[in-house]
Amino acid sequence: MARPNMKPIVLFFLKLLLIGLSAPQLIAGDETQKFVYSGFASANLTLDGTASVTPSGLLELTNGTVMSMGHAFHPAPLRLRDSPNGTIQSFSASFVFGIISIYDLSSHGLTMLVAPSKDLSKAMPVQYLGLFNGLNNGNTTNHIFAVELDTWQNAEFGDIDYNHVGVDINGLSSEKSHTAGFFHDQNGTFENLTLGSQEAMQVWVDYDREKTQIDVTMAPLNMTTKPKRPIVSARYNLSAVLKDVAYIGFSSSTGTIKTQHYVLGWSFAMNGPAPVINLSMLPKLPRDHPKGRRSWVLDIVLPVGTAVVLLSLGAIAFLLVRRHFRYAEVRDNWEVEFGPHRFSYKDLYHATGGFEDKNLLGVGGFGRVYKGVLQKSRLKIAVKRVSHDSKQGMKEFIAEIVSIGRLQNRNLVPLLGYCRRKGELLLVYEYMPNGSLDKYLVARVLPVAIRPPGPVGIGLPPVGFRSPPAGTGGASCCSWASARRNRPAADDVEELPAQSTAASPHPRRAPPQGSSTPCETRGRSRGRPAKA
């Protein structure tokens, strides 16, 4: 029996094996270097964050959650160089997107990006668009190229406005940007497009290997052809940025405004134009219910206004409390009997202009004296601020002061009343503009170092060296001195001159032995015998 010829059978199976090995590579290569999604219902995308595919086939990058971000990548990597040492090949991409917010503004935007990895877990939301963070933004080690559709103006990135398209290289400070819109082919006029208008729009991104030029074009979805003039055209060699193998996808983020970012369709190709997206097959953007759409005034301006009102109320409360403590006084039950002689600290504060230095009459051993005018009565007063830290004897001290104030004598400076506040006592006198008589008799004040000895008291002059004012009548030296004890006249609050302490050319001399004191002279004038 003749043996069958096995050679043709073996050759047939070898041929099938070779075809089986090469066919997946060719298919994989085609899928990697060129693809088109007219909806994402059956797409095998790599998703993270808030990104998901809706039942209708929409790629939803953010779902309206505040401070969130989402990413979506084509699953297969791209081989961007045709040789290990070659340059980045030309490529083209196109996508249809839509941004929806329940307010009249949105945040923050989305990007189409090419990155060395699908892992963007270290990225941040808000102004970083889910692409970078505060530490790596702008680093050349990122190896990321992106086209941003930004609905927020961030001064830190040099954004031109709150509605722009930009080309980003390794960071969010765009190499070049332009307000979102398109140029009409007929007359070249520019027409603005609002990214957050809830209307679908189409974007084209083209990189030319020979020109090292990046062009970005956009148009409303109802335009059937791509505009000839791009809105952004930047010269940049991506060979210095992108790695040999990279992934292409989308990133998006939100801030404090609830916003949804959608991609309806997407296409990509190396070394040629991106495949045309079948617009008729695209899923529809969700339409926000009119009752669900609220003005941003309600959720933004209203809280800000409330915060301003609360801060204003807090400031008013603070001022009232400070005002209360500024004018706070010390009051005891035993002071009721002296009520008519008590002044409020508030009245004295305003009368003296807040105890300003320009109203200062002088400084004495027991305090400072200020002049002032009561606002209601327009009465000119002098206020002595006396420190009195001890509470012991305060009642008796005030009783004595009030008793003196009740005395009626033309030689006594009228004591109008008092005020107590914290650790000080304020005595209120009628203001005497002409000062005291001794200032007219002896113009110069002796320094302490060369004054003759004499009795020491509150405003009590040495006997025999200062006379009581002329015309004191029957008032004795003792009664005159006691009245001067709390008198705010200038001789009570003398300040030593800044000059040398040398003796004055006209010192006050002690009376010679055997001469009469003012009290003795006044006694003899009334017929009383002189004291020995």
Is pLDDT at 222 greater than 60 in this prediction? yes
Break the chain down into helix, strand, coil percent, rounded to 5.
Answer: 25, 25, 50
Residues 6+ apart with CB under 8 A from 442: 506, 508
Rounded to the nearest 5 degrees, what angle is found at the Cα of 200, between the Cα atoms of 196 and 206?
A: 100
Which range (128-137, 229-238, 391-400, 493-502) has the least confidence?
Answer: 493-502
Q: Report in angstroms the alpha-carbon separations of 76 from 31, 156, 402.
A: 8, 35, 100
* Listed range (156-160, 250-254, 445-449) with the worst mean pLDDT: 445-449
Q: CA nearest 109: which of 72, 62, 51, 65?
A: 62
Q: Please state the pTM of the whole predicted model.
A: 0.54
Strand partners, 371: 382
The pLDDT of residue 18 is: 34
- Give 501-530 pLDDT, tens digit per residue: 444 444 444 444 444 444 343 344 444 444
Reported as a pLDDT band with limits 50, 70 and 90, residue 333 is low
309 has pLDDT over 70:
yes
Alpha-carbon distances of 336 from 185, 328, 333, 390, 395, rounded to whole Å: 94, 17, 6, 20, 11
Cis amide linkage into residue 108, ω under 30° from 0: yes
Residue 145 has pLDDT above 90, yes or no: yes
Q: pLDDT tens-digit profile of 336-346?
A: 555 557 788 88
User: Could you report the per-residue pLDDT of 84-134, keeping only the tens digit for each?
Assistant: 889 999 999 999 999 998 877 788 899 999 999 999 999 999 999 999 999
Domain boundaries, the chain: 31-294, 295-326, 333-492
3-state secondary structure of 301: helix
Q: How far is Cα of residue 519 from the mean position of the Cα atoms in its chain?
A: 73
Give the pLDDT score at 22: 30
What mean pLDDT do residues 391-412 have?
A: 63
Q: Which residues of 349-380 are buried (b: 16+ CB within 10 A; e: fewer)?
A: bebbeebeeebebbebebbbbbbbebeeeeee
Query: Cα–Cα distance between 450 and 325 in angstroms, integer?
Result: 45
Known binder of ligand: residue 7? no
pLDDT of residue 485: 44
Distance CA 37, CA 249 (A): 12
Q: Are 398 and 342 in contact (CB under 8 A)?
A: no
User: Is residue 146 predicted with pLDDT exceeding 90?
Assistant: yes
CB neighbours (10 Å) of residue 287? 9
Per-residue pLDDT for 212 more than 90? yes
Length of the chain equals: 532
Provide the mean pLDDT of the chain: 77
Could you give the 3-state DSSP secondary structure of residue 264?
strand
- CATH H-level, domain 333-492: superfamily: Phosphorylase Kinase; domain 1 (3.30.200.20)
Contacts of 34 (CB under 8 A, 6+ apart): 268, 269, 270, 272, 275
More confident residue, 30 or 213: 213
Q: Is the pLDDT of residue 448 over 60?
A: no
Least confident residue range of 39-53, 148-162, 220-234, 405-419: 405-419
Phi and psi dihedrals of 21, rounded to 5?
Answer: -75, -35
pLDDT of residue 416: 84
Tens of pLDDT along 477-503? 333 334 444 444 444 444 434 443 444
Residue 26 pLDDT class (50, 70, 90 cuts): very low
125: nearest Cα among 173, 73, 66: 66
Count of CB atoms within 10 A of residue 212's CB?
16
pLDDT on residue 475? 41
Q: Measured between alpha carbons, how far is 461 from 208 in angstroms, rounded to an integer?
A: 105
Query: What is the phi/psi pair of residue 44, to 5°?
Result: -105, 60
Tell me, what's the pLDDT at 84?
84
Q: Higher-confidence residue: 266 or 415? A: 266
- Structurally, at CATH architecture level, domain 31-294 sits in Sandwich (2.60)
Percent of the chain whose predicted confidence (pLDDT) is above 70: 64
Six-digit token pair at 516?
């009469």
Q: How confident is the model at residue 433 (pLDDT cuts 50, 70, 90)?
A: confident
Residue showing tokens 């830290």:
389
Top pLDDT among 388 and 508 is at 388
453-469 pLDDT, tens digit each:
554 444 444 433 344 44
3-state secondary structure of 8: helix
Q: Does pLDDT of 359 surpass 50?
A: yes
